[in-house]
Structure 1
């Protein structure tokens, strides 16, 4: 398993905890956030094992989902659902996006 997939799974843990807080205010946003972070991990893993040429597309999908997670967290903060963003989590998401970007090229 690539370090990328491991990092995405770590983000799932963090985002899952944050989604519980967001759900108290906005269940729809929390659900969308959970689905997006799950998509990052699952598509990254699928991309690493795809041998039929679909790997790059899976990485593109994972990248789109990672960007969605980033924006969903920022929206939750902007709406006052979160007191602030976890800097370490946001940096990890940024590194995941960078790795996925490279894998799509």
Structure 2
């Protein structure tokens, strides 16, 4: 009798079991999530401390937050092994969000 190796069951947010394929955190979600989170963190810091009026300095900080968030998402989720590509795309998305939507002193995240 052959023993099959045990496989851990992965559950989705709704409590149902999901396949390993479905449990992967899609790279597009990481890119969008990391960029949006970074912009919000910079905006929050800017509002609380009345700093980061210079958009280029705010963008530099956002890019650091983006890298931190991509690392966190890769560390805490089942993902594909294309971290460098995802990080580069997330940084491009962050730069776009900061250039287009970051307004020092505004109230929009």
> Which structure has the higher relative contact order (CA within 8 Å, separation 6+)?
2
* Structure with greater Cα Rg: 2
Higher helix share: 1
